[in-house]
Structure 1
Amino acid sequence: MNSTRPGTLYADHIATLQQRTTAALERGGFDHLVVPSGTLHYQVFDDRDYPYAVNPQFKAWLPMTDAPGSWLVFTPGMKPKLVFLQPHDYWHVVPAEPSGYWVGHFDIVVIREPDEAKRHLPGNAARCAILGEAQSALGQYGAYTPNNPDAVVSYLEYQRAFKTPYEIAMMREATRIGVRAHRAAERLFRAGSSEFGIHLAYCQAAGQDANDLPYTNIVALNEHAAVLHYMRRDRLPPRPICSFLIDAGASFGGYACDITRTYSAQADDFQSLIDAMDAAQLKMCAQVRAGFDYKQLHLDAHLAIATILKDFGLIHVSPEVAVETGVSSAFFPHGVGHGIGLQVHEVGGFMASDAGGVIEKPKGHPYLRLTRVLEPGMVVTIEPGLYFIDMLLDELKDRGLGPSVDWDRVAQFKPYGGIRIEDDVVCTDGDPENLTREGFSAV
């Protein structure tokens, strides 16, 4: 397992960002990149702030995720500048002074009021590519309003698919935290806890509150696992507890991990089904290789899952017929995965080139989030699923495909909800690196 610390890799990372940004600015005809970190703003008809989320274009440059009202400026040939808002405030905790391995790579200016930033931004806003939300504009007249030029954004988002060694190291650290929390969640499940109790144990073990996590935890017992984005979290456990699906990640310096595991309460047929899915998922992870089309990986996953359905007596038709007729999609209705990095669903998944354009999804597979050919440096999730969802199964009957399914066998598995297993995998010049499996092996 590669244990290189992010700090030793940061200089090369920032150099790569400067090269990419210089090319993006040339493409768009701009002289400067200006990136607001984002702002705190009130919820509608209220005096409470929405939870703050840093601009991903900002945290790509530095591992600072709690810096509302700050700005990053890059002019080709010059040292990047951080305009850091550290207000005088006794109502709230003030963001800490910038520190750590990365600060020497920036000219840092500390301001006390948001509008002070104007003095430290490039003089002609029209020559700036300003990437952010509209509410980040400064002052009464909206100076430095984000323009998000397509040419610049497209170039940067396409290139973001290729992670630097620093970024992969950050994601490995996020995985280490996430695995620790997953282990704690499994222990609470085995002890008979509720979904809410498991969620709290997860946050405690990760050392991250709900707003710190990269996405809302999915903690599903029994049939709740058939709701793909189940987030209700019952306060009392069901009786009996049959199964547990947890899809939960962790953050580190602005980077995310995304991990899903499924467990049976007993050594039963459902556990055998989990084991079969786990074996198939590992084979899918092994397909993460340079030059392989991710669309084909998704289609191969459907055939593998249809084979499991056949092997476990859930369908009467051949795996090939199940895929062709859409029977497999009733049991596996989402994509096999997505890019991951600064965002859980990383941008640029459909882009044909750094100038834009779209690589279409395979016909009949509307929920796939990545259609590019894999290349070294890409990090993707592999998350096949097999679920027992009433709505989708009823649709099979409505389409005249009911005879394809053994409904008595399906009824035996419906109380368990479903299965999803998800790893984060790095595409390299050779064998893929499975960050998630490495993380579980290390604890």
Structure 2
Amino acid sequence: MTSAQWPILYRQHLTTMQDRAASALARAGLDHLVVPSGTLHYQFFDDRDYPYAVNPQFKAWLPLTRNPGSWLVYTPGARPKLVYLQPRDYWHVVPKAPSGYWTTHFDIVVVRKEEEALQHLPADPSRCAILGEPQSALGDYVPGNPAAVVDYLEYHRAYKTPYEIAMMREATRRGVRGHRAAERAFRAGASEFGIHLAYCQAAGQDANDLPYGNIVALNEHGAVLHYMDRDRLPPSPVRSFLIDAGASHDGYACDITRTYSANSGDEFQALVDAVDAAQLRMCAQVRAGVDYRQLHLDAHLALAGILRDFGIVSLSPESALETGVSSAFFPHGIGHGIGLQVHDVAGFAASESGGTIDKPPGHPYLRLTRTLEPGMVVTIEPGIYFIEMLLEELRAGPHAAAVDWARVDAFRPYGGIRIEDDVVCTDGEPVNLTREGFAAG
């Protein structure tokens, strides 16, 4: 799919957004949807602002991610309106005039001061569903985030439109470029910090553009699930490399993780290859009607089988899952929804009216419990880790004898393994956006 098709896909996407908004407003008995883009936040006891993060409810409608102080207004039956803040300012770069294929679908009003937006919002705030953070309040327009509206919109956000999937493909293209550069830097002996810089350069995005902070971990640091320190000097010797890093495009994210051994012929690389093969089989399970909770439990069985095959544990996969031994080596969930946010919303939603689908007992960190349906995009990220704290608990527990601790000690200096792809559920074969991206070069 080429960028030439994006205007058509966007028009279809906007129609979907209008239909969803109309249904949500009807449920709440309200007339207008009003969404601020968000505001700048300033650090406590300082005059420096935090990096701006756009309101996801705003960027769901249009590809604007750097425009604080703007507002979206939608009244069913009317064209959506964008109140676009373009301040007079010589301290900062002023946003350019709105342009692009999306602009023809909006009534656009440009204002120079934040308070000028008030005259372009609906007359009666009490008839509005105002979705945003408290800091975005303007006059009587105070975000109330009515549950009937938020629950409905967030539930349906799990179903990505073809336009959204196209944006995620573009984000993936950037992410793959970064990952290839990061592996080259690792092979060349760079530090974690140097690898991070190589990634950002290749992806064309810095820390404020990326959808989340890069996890760049050498050796034992791979056992820290959200490792963010980025040492300035490489360890000696360098044994392994785990990178969990994404990229963004027009508000949409990709989320990719890869793991490498410094020695492509050693046993740790063989373990990486085994996890990679299992991960591909898990990706093939992303099909309509599959309970994501079961996919998570099946992942435990597959990983426990690998642990047994490599002589790390002696239990059967079923026993390793039942006793919690597998959780000592795979302590997080198999993945999550992804789209406008890396950990996309409504992962536990029972219905468009709210409610919660519980996680499997003993698996508190799973972020998605819904049954997969066409249009959903999820990550699949199994891992095997050698985490000191969890290993200590396992050694002190009743199943310590089921672990070959000499084998654990042999793998401990490598930290851990995680392989992660973004996968689209369809009405047929799943579409692996990440593997597509790597195959395209």
Band the TM-score falls in, shorter-chain normalisation: over 0.9
CA distance in 2, matches of 1:415, 1:426: 35
Q: State the Cα distance separating 1:316 from its structure 2 match.
A: 1.5
Aligned residue in 2 for 1:251? 248
Aligned residue in 1 for 2:217? 220
Q: State the Cα distance separating 1:319 from its structure 2 match.
A: 1.4
Aligned residue in 2 for 1:304? 302
CA distance in 2, matches of 1:190, 1:7: 41
CA distance in 2, matches of 1:427, 1:317: 33
Aligned residue in 2 for 1:12? 12
- For the residue of structure 1 that corresponds to 2:259, the secondary structure is strand
- For the residue of structure 2 that corresponds to 1:322, the secondary structure is helix
1:326-383 Cα distance to aligned partner (Å, 9 max, x none) = 0000000000000000000000100000000000000000000000000000000000
Counterpart code for 1:202: Y
1:99-140 Cα distance to aligned partner (Å, 9 max, x none) = 1010000000000000000000000000000000001011xx
Corresponding residue to 1:164 among 142, 161, 166? 161
Which runs of structure 2 are paired with 1:417-436 in the superposition (5 Å)?
417-436=415-434
- For the residue of structure 2 that corresponds to 1:102, the secondary structure is helix
Please say if residues 174 and 255 of structure 1, whose CA atoms lie closer than 8 Å, have aligned partners that are also in contact.
yes
CA distance in 1, matches of 2:122, 2:401: 68
Corresponding residue to 1:388 among 381, 386, 389? 386
- For the residue of structure 1 that corresponds to 2:101, the secondary structure is coil
CA distance in 2, matches of 1:206, 1:6: 21
CA distance in 1, matches of 2:169, 2:348: 25
Please say if residues 316 and 405 of structure 1, whose CA atoms lie closer than 8 Å, have aligned partners that are also in contact.
yes
Counterpart code for 1:271: Q
Please say if residues 376 and 428 of structure 1, whose CA atoms lie closer than 8 Å, have aligned partners that are also in contact.
yes
Tell me whether 1:180 sits opposite 2:177 in the alignment: yes
Name the TM-score, length of structure 2 as normaliser: 0.99
Aligned residue in 2 for 1:413? 411
Aligned residue in 2 for 1:26? 26
CA distance in 2, matches of 1:39, 1:275: 45
Q: State the Cα distance separating 1:429 from its structure 2 match.
A: 0.4
1:49-82 Cα distance to aligned partner (Å, 9 max, x none) = 1110000000000001010000000000000000
Q: State the Cα distance separating 1:97 from its structure 2 match.
A: 1.2
Aligned residue in 2 for 1:76? 76
Counterpart code for 1:432: P
1:147-183 Cα distance to aligned partner (Å, 9 max, x none) = 0000000000000000000000000000000000000
Please say if residues 6 and 167 of structure 1, whose CA atoms lie closer than 8 Å, have aligned partners that are also in contact.
no
Counterpart code for 2:330: F
CA distance in 1, matches of 2:39, 2:176: 32
Aligned residue in 2 for 1:338? 336
Tell me whether 1:292 sits opposite 2:290 in the alignment: yes
CA distance in 2, matches of 1:53, 1:18: 24
CA distance in 1, matches of 2:47, 2:362: 45
1:249-279 Cα distance to aligned partner (Å, 9 max, x none) = 0000000000000000011000000000000
CA distance in 2, matches of 1:36, 1:177: 28
Decide whether aligned partners of structure 1 residues 320 and 244 sit closer, same or farther in structure 2, where only a CA change above 3 A counts.
same
Q: State the Cα distance separating 1:41 from its structure 2 match.
A: 2.4
CA distance in 2, matches of 1:316, 1:280: 19
Identity of aligned residues (%): 75
Aligned residue in 1 for 2:229? 232
Which runs of structure 2 are paired with 1:329-368 in the superposition (5 Å)?
329-368=327-366
Counterpart code for 2:426: T
CA distance in 2, matches of 1:6, 1:179: 21
CA distance in 2, matches of 1:115, 1:317: 65
Counterpart code for 1:277: V
Corresponding residue to 2:193 among 184, 191, 196? 196
Corresponding residue to 2:261 among 264, 271, 285? 264
Name the TM-score, length of structure 1 as normaliser: 0.98
CA distance in 1, matches of 2:95, 2:380: 36
Counterpart code for 2:406: D
Please say if residues 351 and 358 of structure 1, whose CA atoms lie closer than 8 Å, have aligned partners that are also in contact.
yes
CA distance in 2, matches of 1:41, 1:116: 20
Q: State the Cα distance separating 1:3 from its structure 2 match.
A: 4.4
Query: Where does structure 1 lack aligned partners over 5 or more consecutive residues?
Result: none
- For the residue of structure 1 that corresponds to 2:333, the secondary structure is coil
Q: State the Cα distance separating 1:413 from its structure 2 match.
A: 0.4
Counterpart code for 1:78: A
1:377-413 Cα distance to aligned partner (Å, 9 max, x none) = 0000000010000100111122222101000001000
CA distance in 1, matches of 2:82, 2:190: 46
Aligned residue in 1 for 2:104? 104
Counterpart code for 1:324: E
Query: Where does structure 2 lack aligned partners over 5 or more consecutive residues?
Result: none
CA distance in 1, matches of 2:366, 2:248: 24
Counterpart code for 1:276: A
